[in-house]
Structure 1
Amino acid sequence: MAAEEDYGRPAVLLNPLEGDPTDADSHIGGPMLWPIDDEWPSCDADGEPFVGAVQLYQRDFPELPFPGGTDLLQVFLCTLDHDTPGPDVRLVWRDSTTVFELIEEEPQPSQQEELYVPTVNVFEPIRYTEYPAKISGGTKIGGWTAWNDSDPLTFACPECGAVQRQTLSLGTYEPSGDNVEWVFGEDGNLNIFLCEKDVHHPIKVLID
């Protein structure tokens, strides 16, 4: 029988705090490093532009599975409800060193659910090992999924069949009490699962 330590997974509690980040910083809700000649992400369902939600640089969070030639993960949310309850999610992996001229103004949706719009935060990350018997519900990289309303589930990549593992989780509540002021489901987490073989394969998003 496996010992508890065999179930330990590395995790990074992002520990968001109010701040004034630039596009050169890792953050929640701040300005995105977006090239002027790239099309801004928009929702396939309603045509509204996505909102820049999270930006994570490799220098700050090497724990993320950055593909070769990239050093920046950008997370965008369509801040409207969809058929699967909650916002739609778009991930962009990019090489920040190739961005020279930035977009002048980020497009804003004409309508949105305010409960999905974050406040602006920087991070004071806390690195630790997480176990199934003690799971943080805050915003984090890696670790285990905090199942609040359902039994634990597993997911397979629809493209290659590999396991999809929770890579990023956005929390309604933070252990520090400094909440980002977005709300997912019944005060739960928005969990983003990525294919272990290729992060460009389709992602799985689950609010619990």
Structure 2
Amino acid sequence: MITPPLPPEALARYPGLEKLGRTTTRLHPRPGAVTATDSHIGGPLRWPADEPWPTCDVPHMVHEEVPIPAELATRMRTAERGRRQSHVLAEGELDLHQELAALVGPGFVGWGSRDGGPVVGYRYVPREHPAPNPMVALAQLRAEDVPDLPRPGGADLLQVLWCPFEHSEGPWGPTVKLRWRREAELTDLLAEPPRGEVGTDGYVPRPCRLHPEQVVEYPYPEELPEDLRRLVDEDEDEDEDEEYVDTFMAPGWKVGGYANWSLTDLGPTPCPRCAGPTTLTLVIDSSERGTERWQPTRADGEPDDDSYEPTGVVVGRHGALRVFACLTCPDVPFLLDQQ
């Protein structure tokens, strides 16, 4: 896969920005057969036969429906009709929401009905796994294939696994495990990993081959020096179609580079162990679709039309999960952020 080059005039608008460029490796996953010797999404891992397969014992969140008394539902509907603006609560409506939340209980997230059925309240409640749940293999990345893959302690292989349920610890979603390895040390391998329960189909990746491509991207606007940030703000005020992020930050699955903070604004990412800086190691994205600027072509020069949701993975509200790792602590602790 080949990403179109950045138009020269784009960098010319922001003097000095070229010095802040940083490489990232776009993984370009595409459905296909993979083996344990490959870099891939959703395929078998080179896992030592004598090493226990990771499991999850963190309570997962279960969606429940709670019946709502008809008279309360009627009062809620009446209050809604009294709104002057659809997004502004009417007088007394907040009190009704609080009454409803108290009735539904902890974990309340809303209310409604399906296909004209009874009105119910919705909540998420924690539930223990019946037994520690074997994790799903999400990705295997080889430093030989992925130029921007960190190599903590001389590792040249990263394996990523997660539990395919919703959890409330950390960002809402799967629990995640990372394994850093040296490929030369992997000899006696596990033939077949254990299979666990699946709570969310969007957390079971479709096997995908990778077509890694190293490109250059640039910092999120809030990470720019003040003079460059001011230029970005001025440009976007003048032309809403000219989005800095769409031009200078790569979408999709990628390793290294800069993090996009469009949903929450710039957030802290300290190491959970030493509180020092972390490095953006992996972006797990729900889609590969960016602007035309980032739309790749195949090696034969033809447009790549099968790039929207190749992995089948859906994170949050069709967003991305980012892994920030501390490359100075010996056990490579990491934290997660969802956008």
Q: TM-score range by the shorter chain?
A: over 0.9
Deviation for aligned residue 1:88: 0.8
Q: Is the CA contact (8 Å cut-off) linking 2:251 and 2:288 kept in structure 1?
A: yes
Q: Is the CA contact (8 Å cut-off) linking 2:316 and 2:338 kept in structure 1?
A: yes
The C-alpha deviation readout for 1:187-206, integer Å capped at 9, x for no partner, is: 11110001142372421111
The TM-score normalised by the length of structure 1 is: 0.92
Unaligned regions of 5+ residues in structure 2, if any?
1-13, 59-128, 221-243, 290-306
Partner residue, 1:66: 151
Partner residue, 2:43: 30
Partner residue, 1:127: 214
Partner residue, 2:199: 112
Partner residue, 1:206: 337
Partner residue, 2:256: 142
Unaligned regions of 5+ residues in structure 1, if any?
none
**2:180 alignment partner, one of 90, 93, 111:** 93
Task: Specify the SS of the correspondent of 2:55.
Answer: coil
Q: Is the CA contact (8 Å cut-off) linking 1:31 and 1:52 kept in structure 2?
A: yes
**1:157 alignment partner, one of 263, 268, 271:** 271
Partner residue, 2:233: none
Alpha-carbon distance between aligned partners in 1 of 2:264 and 2:277, rounded to the nearest angstrom: 19
The C-alpha deviation readout for 1:27-56, integer Å capped at 9, x for no partner, is: 000111011111001113142111110001
Alpha-carbon distance between aligned partners in 1 of 2:331 and 2:15, rounded to the nearest angstrom: 33
Task: Specify the SS of the correspondent of 1:37.
Answer: coil
Deviation for aligned residue 1:154: 2.2
Partner residue, 2:316: 185
The C-alpha deviation readout for 1:12-34, integer Å capped at 9, x for no partner, is: 11000111111000000011101
Q: Is the CA contact (8 Å cut-off) linking 1:171 and 1:188 kept in structure 2?
A: yes
- Change over 3 Å in CA distance of 1:40–1:167 after alignment to 2: same
Q: Is the CA contact (8 Å cut-off) linking 1:137 and 1:189 kept in structure 2?
A: no
Q: Which has the higher helix share?
A: 2
- Change over 3 Å in CA distance of 1:7–1:44 after alignment to 2: farther
Partner residue, 1:56: 141
Q: Which has the higher strand share?
A: 1
Deviation for aligned residue 1:156: 1.1
Taking only aligned residues, the RMSD between alpha carbons, in angstroms, comes to 1.8
Q: Is the CA contact (8 Å cut-off) linking 1:142 and 1:168 kept in structure 2?
A: yes
Alpha-carbon distance between aligned partners in 2 of 1:60 and 1:54, rounded to the nearest angstrom: 13
Q: Is the CA contact (8 Å cut-off) linking 2:272 and 2:335 kept in structure 1?
A: no
Opposite residue 135 of structure 2, the aligned amino acid is F
Task: Specify the SS of the correspondent of 2:281.
Answer: strand
- Change over 3 Å in CA distance of 1:4–1:199 after alignment to 2: farther
The C-alpha deviation readout for 1:93-113, integer Å capped at 9, x for no partner, is: 112222222212111112331
Partner residue, 1:19: 32
Task: Specify the SS of the correspondent of 2:36.
Answer: coil
Partner residue, 2:79: none
Partner residue, 2:22: 9
Task: Specify the SS of the correspondent of 1:124.
Answer: coil
Q: Is the CA contact (8 Å cut-off) linking 2:25 and 2:147 kept in structure 1?
A: no
Alpha-carbon distance between aligned partners in 2 of 1:6 and 1:112, rounded to the nearest angstrom: 45
Q: Is the CA contact (8 Å cut-off) linking 1:157 and 1:201 kept in structure 2?
A: no
Q: Is the CA contact (8 Å cut-off) linking 1:171 and 1:184 kept in structure 2?
A: yes
Alpha-carbon distance between aligned partners in 2 of 1:161 and 1:6, rounded to the nearest angstrom: 28
**2:57 alignment partner, one of 44, 48, 55:** 44
Matched residues, number: 208
Percentage identity across paired residues of the two chains:
36
Partner residue, 2:190: 103
Q: Which range moves more in the overlay, 125-134 or 26-35?
A: 125-134
